Amino acid sequence: MLRPVLLILAIITSTIDGSAQAPSRNLQKEAAIWDQLEVVSPGLVETFKEATTRMDQGNHQEAAALYQKVVDGAPEFDPAVRRLGTCLVLAGDAGRGLPIAEKAVALNRSPENLATMAQLLVFREPGKAVLP
């Protein structure tokens, strides 16, 4: 049942940004994420920001290493879990990345987590665009 829903979401979201260019971030949403992380683990906010910069630049392995530090310190913080899974898949390690992205969905069935999971299932090849 989940796979057909994810496929539909992937089709819908793939029309949003089909390019492999770095996404343009909504700074209000990013600031809200930083505020959430500040409550959970204030010392990891700068690491999260740097990981996001690396992700947006296409440096997925570097971003994954930084997101891993955030997830190690805040394992229930689903934006970092989602982005770690995304970076791993985009770096070519779908075997590790997909279960991590699934964990983000299990932590929080948010539109961001569900849409990202759907795109990762459809576009597993390195360098393909996904929602952050």
> Which pLDDT tens digits describe the chain residue by residue (132 residues)?
555 554 454 444 443 333 344 458 899 999 999 999 999 999 999 999 999 999 999 999 999 999 999 999 999 999 999 999 999 999 999 999 999 999 999 999 999 999 999 999 887 655 555 555
- State residue 128's pLDDT score: 54
| The amino acid at 122 | V
Alpha-carbon gap, residue 93 to 1, rounded angstroms? 25
Q: What angle do CA 113, 118, 121 make, to 5 degrees?
A: 125
pTM for the full predicted model: 0.78
Cα-Cα-Cα-Cα torsion 75, 36, 85, 19, nearest 10 degrees, comes to 180
Alpha-carbon gap, residue 49 to 44, rounded angstroms? 9
Alpha-carbon gap, residue 86 to 12, rounded angstroms? 18
Alpha-carbon gap, residue 111 to 105, rounded angstroms? 9
Q: Name the residue with tokens 């999971």.
A: 117
Alpha-carbon gap, residue 116 to 102, rounded angstroms? 10
CB-CB contact of 93 with 101 (8 Å) = no
Q: Kindly report the length of the chain.
A: 132
Alpha-carbon gap, residue 28 to 19, rounded angstroms? 23
- State residue 24's pLDDT score: 80
